[in-house]
Structure 1
Amino acid sequence: MKTKLMVLAISLASFSGVAMGFDFGKLLEDRLNQELNKDKKTQPAATPPPAGAQSAAASPPAAKQKVDAGQLGFALFGDYSPEEENRIGKQISGNLLGAVPLVRDDGLQRYVNRVGNWVALQTGRKNTSWHFGVLDTEDINAFAAPGGYIFLTKGLYRRLNNEAELAGVLGHEIAHVTQRHHLKVLKKSSLIGALGQAASSKAQGSDQMVQNLIGNGAEIMARGLDKDAEFEADRVGIVFAARAGYDVWGLPTVLQDMAALPAKDNRTSLLYKTHPHPADRLAALGEAVGDRLDGIQGKELANRFYKIR
């Protein structure tokens, strides 16, 4: 498997071209920025001091900043409860769906949820209620949010040929949740915020902390995780799909197809902002997996793959 993936990665790395498409990436970023900045817009502007006021009296010394003890303690030693994780993911998903709705095809949504929940069952994670959806955009991408909220776009779904490929894509996004990739970034942002924040000595409550982190989570979804998290999600995701009985080549086949798209295809503009290039992912996957999965026999199930309208 390693040799096959390395050959695919090398041969696909140089594709280029131009295609036109709806800029979902810009729409999503604009929507999330609007959500993040709406509170700032409602605050009244500060009243400037009257002329000469600065010379009339000396300015008081700046107050010494204090570290928010509650936020710092959480960042160093705490963790998110399942309820907090679900609240964060639900709100982030709501922001995403505010930018673009689900495809109006109940059969499609039920099918993707059946496949997704079957793959998610292989994780052994019992405290998560999984939700899957197909977004109504021709952009090519997929997203995960904490708490088990998984989305792929109609543009990506149209490029899939069988259920194994769908399972591979969903397995990758499921792995982001099980490996807590977004939550780890949020926890790091909580530490940074605690060290740089001027606050009272009173510890911050859990509700307020969760609300503060929702905006950061939305930004992560728009801008992506680091490449190591994406590579790990590829490795873990193909294992989940294989455990579910699917052909282990499902995800690599999808990556091969995406790598062959023109480099300047607008449909992949956000994909390349949120994920490493598919050729790099294929190379990393081949290096990590080697030939250990070559003997696994899984099914493609092309005959029951739901054809989108």
Structure 2
Amino acid sequence: MKKTIACLAVLGLLGGCAELQRGALNPDTLRVAGEAVGTLAKSDATPEQEAQIGRESASMLLGAAPLVQDKEIMQYVNTLGSWIARQTGRNDINWRFGVINSSNVNAFAAPDGYILITKGLLRQLNNEAELAGVIAHELAHVTKRHYLIAMKKKDTLGAFAKVGESTVAKSGIRGGDMAATPMFNLAQNMYSSGLDKGDEYEADRLGVTYATRAGYDPYGLPRVLAMYASNTGAPGFDLLFSTHPSPQDRMAELNKAVGDKLAAYEANSVVDNPAFAKIVARAKAIPDPGQRR
């Protein structure tokens, strides 16, 4: 039965699991919504500046919630994320992936290749294709430089001009060292307010493209959006809904752009991997911050 994004929006379907062999698709044969990849966005930041902005942004995110202390989860997410990142064509980015110990449902990207998902989101997902869709969406924010461009627009205090002046650029991700910098504060405000709707819609379109290129079920991300829609007002979803367009609007925009153009890739795509259930079980066993084992 052919599943479309439209039917997911109406019925909120959450797909079942099927164990399939992962197979890479030829990127040259995949065209979604016309020019989905588009041209490289301009951010007026040098690679060195982008790297420092990424470090300070990631520092801010990790200051709010640290990484989970589970090597198996981290290795799994990095392996999966690295595979999908290969489909972006951005071999110049040093991609890094992690799961943060937060019960909230959300995912974040930071300039220079930082991708973070929350433990709370991982617990809500049903299969690896859904996780692939989430990661691919965040990859798109980096490849299109959405956060860099948005920060530049909101930089009323000249934080960009001060990038590179501080020696913390060489110190790695250390929230205490970076918390006083103008860029750290700008990043904090940026993640609190969220990106423009157009950026989120573009990341959805391009994320579906990346996940499909990686061999995953094209409807993984739409199923996640359907899950978001069914949890409106639920605990743990507050920040997600305050910083993103409504999931119904995102599904409608994705349906207009993609529709059933990816149905041909669905039959031979990867829906799940036995390792996924093990990783989710490990995530569920990790106490939330402030809880004891």
Indicate the TM-score class for this superposition, using the shorter chain for normalisation.
0.7 to 0.9
The Cα of 1:266 is off from its aligned counterpart by: 2.5
Aligned to 2:15: none
Q: Residue 8 of structure 1 aligns to which amino acid in structure 2?
A: L
* Distance of 2:163 and 2:101 partners within structure 1: 35
1:213 aligns with 2:157: no
Give the fraction of aligned pairs with identical amino acids, expressed as a percent. 45
1:5 aligns with 2:5: yes
Assess if the C-alpha contact under 8 Å between 1:235 and 1:285 holds in 2: yes
The Cα of 1:282 is off from its aligned counterpart by: 0.9
Q: List gaps (5 residues or longer) in structure 2.
A: 13-41, 170-180, 283-293
The Cα of 1:137 is off from its aligned counterpart by: 1.4
Task: Give the counterpart of 2:253 among 264, 284, 291.
Answer: 284
* Distance of 2:131 and 2:69 partners within structure 1: 19
Assess if the C-alpha contact under 8 Å between 1:82 and 1:127 holds in 2: no
Q: How does 1:166-181 map to 2 (within 5 A)?
A: 166-181=131-146
The Cα of 1:302 is off from its aligned counterpart by: 3.1
Aligned to 2:96: 131
Q: Residue 290 of structure 1 aligns to which amino acid in structure 2?
A: G
Task: Give the counterpart of 1:106 among 29, 49, 71.
Answer: 71
Q: Residue 9 of structure 1 aligns to which amino acid in structure 2?
A: A
Assess if the C-alpha contact under 8 Å between 1:247 and 1:298 holds in 2: yes
TM-score (ref. length: structure 2): 0.74
* Distance of 2:101 and 2:246 partners within structure 1: 23
Assess if the C-alpha contact under 8 Å between 1:10 and 1:279 holds in 2: no
* Distance of 1:186 and 1:257 partners within structure 2: 29
Q: Residue 108 of structure 2 aligns to which amino acid in structure 1?
A: F
Aligned to 1:63: none
Secondary structure in 1 aligned to 2:117? strand
Assess if the C-alpha contact under 8 Å between 1:172 and 1:237 holds in 2: yes
Q: Residue 294 of structure 1 aligns to which amino acid in structure 2?
A: A
Secondary structure in 2 aligned to 1:151? strand
TM-score (ref. length: structure 1): 0.70
Specify whether residues 250 and 79 from structure 1 end up closer, same or farther in structure 2 by C-alpha distance, changes over 3 A only. same
- Structure 1 runs (4+) deviating above 4 angstroms are 208-211
Deviations 1:217-263, CA, capped at 9 Å, x for gaps: 222112210111001000000111111111111111111112111x3
The Cα of 1:133 is off from its aligned counterpart by: 0.9
* Distance of 2:244 and 2:260 partners within structure 1: 25
Over the aligned positions, Cα root-mean-square deviation in angstroms equals 2.5
1:274 aligns with 2:243: yes
Deviations 1:282-305, CA, capped at 9 Å, x for gaps: 111001112211111311133231
Aligned to 2:116: 151
1:239 aligns with 2:209: yes
Assess if the C-alpha contact under 8 Å between 1:82 and 1:128 holds in 2: no
Specify whether residues 127 and 8 from structure 1 end up closer, same or farther in structure 2 by C-alpha distance, changes over 3 A only. same
Specify whether residues 240 and 78 from structure 1 end up closer, same or farther in structure 2 by C-alpha distance, changes over 3 A only. closer
Secondary structure in 1 aligned to 2:281? coil
1:307 aligns with 2:280: yes
Which has the higher Rg, Structure 1 or Structure 2? Answer: 1
* Distance of 2:151 and 2:224 partners within structure 1: 29
Aligned to 1:79: 44
* Distance of 2:257 and 2:3 partners within structure 1: 11
1:227 aligns with 2:177: no
1:95 aligns with 2:64: no
* Distance of 1:237 and 1:131 partners within structure 2: 17
The Cα of 1:8 is off from its aligned counterpart by: 3.1
* Distance of 1:128 and 1:214 partners within structure 2: 21
